[in-house]
Structure 1
């Protein structure tokens, strides 16, 4: 752990502002997929400092919010002669409840009451308390906790407890810095440890956060004029939390599944054995409707050259052939390729190849790449390699469209939501279309800065 004190001068907010400015260069945190928010605080006030704006935004959007406060923060003033730990615990329980209500009136507060300063000694209890609030988790559930590299032992312990609770639940995990703004500097290597996300705060979010912070009276005001009763959150430190944005570190979850190997060709050859259409692509209305939506999401009417990854028996390939001058379709298994070739034998503009991605890759440049129902077959590492190949194979102004089933499948190394989360990290690209249903995600990515369909057609500037 880093050695620091709240009385140290610390890094001025102007230093961080010079680097982040309006957080340009840091990827945006979008909450439109958020369905439930669980925020972990090591101590009362952590939730407001690090994630108060997010709590306010989620509450304002009608998202259920729960704040899990692991300790009462009774060790905040160890030298106080006016407030013993019992009195401080009582005050801080009242303060955090009022602050969370100010952020989001319908939010729930869970007081776990583990000993302040000793969370590292109670990992199972901390993790269990978080797990209870997470329940089954699943897509759309966000778990937000203190940053593991924040320099405070209780924050590191809370982060570890949250990571343990997140495993196997399919949740999105984020961590928030607090003390790192104080003791570290922008060039500190700790900031290269994870993917930074920024949440721009609306005026109402900032107003609620400011009001909530003021309600943590025992932290922002002196307990008395006596030595040892000084305010913990002094003006220079508090300035870090008056920004127009909050920054979070996105943490990779599902490490067990993320380390699983990609599914091999033998898996698919066995899956197709004796069944030309095991997923019922030809007969299910679900599949027909999803293909229509995918084709409708393409931002241009016509494409020069398309690449379809994981074409299976060629149902979507046929639709692409009507919109593209050429289509290069690939799959890992030979059996579905035989069906696809027979289906499109009269379309010489369509070619098929059996390839094992990402080590094998088709030659050429494409202005459309279709990545549909295939990403979750890869390991986390190979998925990143595939997406890098996609980026390198796209022509200038090219489009990447992705569509994936959202429900977990035990045999698959990843979930559809994990695939699309990785797509959202693709450097240099931005999401221009998003269609989200309970069953699947359909998204389009284009090189930044991208223009909308209406802009391309001159309807808007």
Structure 2
């Protein structure tokens, strides 16, 4: 998580305003956002697009704390309410930990005050909206994700087209916001809902050019005058946050004027989240596969040099039926007959590489250890379309773009931090319409920093991608990820619309 405090100076709204210069003016809701050529981009990758509300039929907004709903989505709630769209706001905690240094308001009193405030604020935004208060502990939502997810699921109901679920942004930097986002994502599985996330604290600690803003598809909603008025009035009702509780130390406003300015814009910003499909049991299990809070360091090159010492094929790629069968399934899972350029991360002795060479015009295969690479080079010496390189990922990375990246039996060698960097690099190297195929052993190995399930859970959170193939066995997990919205093989073949 990002380390920050509400007492920090933070990024001024004027900095964000400068980054927004050249955007299409308020009121032109159907057009995409842009920035003038001479200004810093608001969100460098991907481009900012308009949020269309034409198909909105039901709105469920999740707030980690009272006031999140107003700050991040107050205008959207107001718009939906005026259009007669049913709105439910699910408030996960009472926000009782907002003033830990207060000598006038203990947590119980703060909880009571903030419950009243959020009910009043939502009533101003959308008088017919329902408010659900879950009373989960403020500051430790990570330990209550399943409970939160079940409650959100109950509010979604059958879901389906036109149902929108809106929650805090998983990259907002606040642990409760990340937990709320994960709970929402799990609740949204298999419901056919549209999922959007709203930033709050990221406006404070990040800057317009920060890499974090490339982590999703950004959409903005222009606010009509009535939307803005309702949002302003609702925000003022969260008095415990925007005003001082008293003149004593520890009772200062949590949302001072400089920070509040980020939410007085003529538009709201949402990150569109793409979710795959999982069974309820698998979704609950995935909660346990997250990478935080502790993981080991990445395995160094010395580990692999020692592992390969004195042996050609320590994993039995050439001899085991298990490996031959898994390799065949991996190649069969590729959604196209032919690829232009493939990147194989962790090619070892090149057995899978040979299969990829039959399906790809070129293959770039990399590994951290020289011994297996020497075997791989000899195996494919007659295939000039295949090149090998010894690289230590992610610090070293091959040049070029690829329409296929193979990430097989290598992800759990990285620390959580380096795995995320590897996945970021993969996305950056992927050509438009490219494919990531991943396959990993599921049984725990004490020497590895992560498990295969943890690796695939992180892949499932890769913004802008959706899981198009999922093959799960006791021994391994094989998945394919493509840029959303993705088309199935049958759709590409014209067999279905």
After TM superposition, is the score higher than 0.5? Answer: yes
- 1:71 equivalent to 2:124? Answer no
State how many pairs are aligned. 280
- 1:173 equivalent to 2:221? Answer no
- 1:232 equivalent to 2:280? Answer no
**1:17 alignment partner, SS class:** helix
| Deviation string, structure 1 residues 71-130 (Cα, Å, up to 9, x no partner) | 000000000000000000000000000000100000000000100000001111111111
Alignment partner, residue 103 of structure 2: 81
- 1:385 equivalent to 2:433? Answer yes
**2:54 alignment partner, SS class:** coil
**1:73 alignment partner, SS class:** coil
| Deviation string, structure 1 residues 168-223 (Cα, Å, up to 9, x no partner) | 11111000000000000111110000000000000000000000000001001000
**1:68 alignment partner, SS class:** strand
Alignment of 1:334-413 (within 5 A): 385=433
Question: Following the alignment from structure 1 to structure 2, what is the Cα–Cα distance between the partners of residues 191 and 183?
Answer: 12
Question: Following the alignment from structure 1 to structure 2, what is the Cα–Cα distance between the partners of residues 255 and 102?
Answer: 36
Q: How well do the aligned residues superpose, as a CA RMSD in angstroms?
A: 2.9
Question: Following the alignment from structure 2 to structure 1, what is the Cα–Cα distance between the partners of residues 237 and 485?
Answer: 38
- Cα pair 1:103 1:212 within 8 Å, conserved: yes
Alignment partner, residue 60 of structure 1: 82
Question: Following the alignment from structure 1 to structure 2, what is the Cα–Cα distance between the partners of residues 20 and 195?
Answer: 17
- Cα pair 1:52 1:209 within 8 Å, conserved: yes
**1:185 alignment partner, SS class:** coil
TM-score (norm. length: structure 2): 0.53
Question: Following the alignment from structure 2 to structure 1, what is the Cα–Cα distance between the partners of residues 143 and 278?
Answer: 25
- Cα pair 1:171 1:253 within 8 Å, conserved: no
- Cα pair 1:167 1:253 within 8 Å, conserved: yes
Runs ≥4 residues deviating over 3 A: 259-265
Alignment of 1:52-451 (within 5 A): 52-256=74-278, 385=433, 422=485
Alignment partner, residue 6 of structure 2: 6
**2:158 alignment partner, SS class:** coil
Question: Cα offset for 1:256?
Answer: 4.7
Question: Following the alignment from structure 1 to structure 2, what is the Cα–Cα distance between the partners of residues 62 and 43?
Answer: 25
Question: Cα offset for 1:254?
Answer: 2.5
Question: Following the alignment from structure 2 to structure 1, what is the Cα–Cα distance between the partners of residues 469 and 157?
Answer: 22
Question: Cα offset for 1:146?
Answer: 0.3
Question: Following the alignment from structure 1 to structure 2, what is the Cα–Cα distance between the partners of residues 64 and 413?
Answer: 35
Question: Following the alignment from structure 2 to structure 1, what is the Cα–Cα distance between the partners of residues 241 and 210?
Answer: 27
Question: Following the alignment from structure 1 to structure 2, what is the Cα–Cα distance between the partners of residues 55 and 413?
Answer: 35
1:27 equivalent among 49, 66, 70: 49
Question: Following the alignment from structure 2 to structure 1, what is the Cα–Cα distance between the partners of residues 97 and 200?
Answer: 17
| Deviation string, structure 1 residues 291-317 (Cα, Å, up to 9, x no partner) | xxxxxxxxxxxxxxxxxxxxxxxxxxx
- Cα pair 1:170 1:254 within 8 Å, conserved: no
CA separation of 1:197/1:11 partners in 2, compared to 1, >3 Å: closer, same or farther? same
Question: Following the alignment from structure 1 to structure 2, what is the Cα–Cα distance between the partners of residues 4 and 234?
Answer: 15
TM-score (norm. length: structure 1): 0.57
Question: Following the alignment from structure 1 to structure 2, what is the Cα–Cα distance between the partners of residues 65 and 150?
Answer: 24
**1:385 alignment partner, SS class:** strand
Alignment partner, residue 307 of structure 1: none
Question: Cα offset for 1:253?
Answer: 1.5
Question: Following the alignment from structure 1 to structure 2, what is the Cα–Cα distance between the partners of residues 177 and 240?
Answer: 10
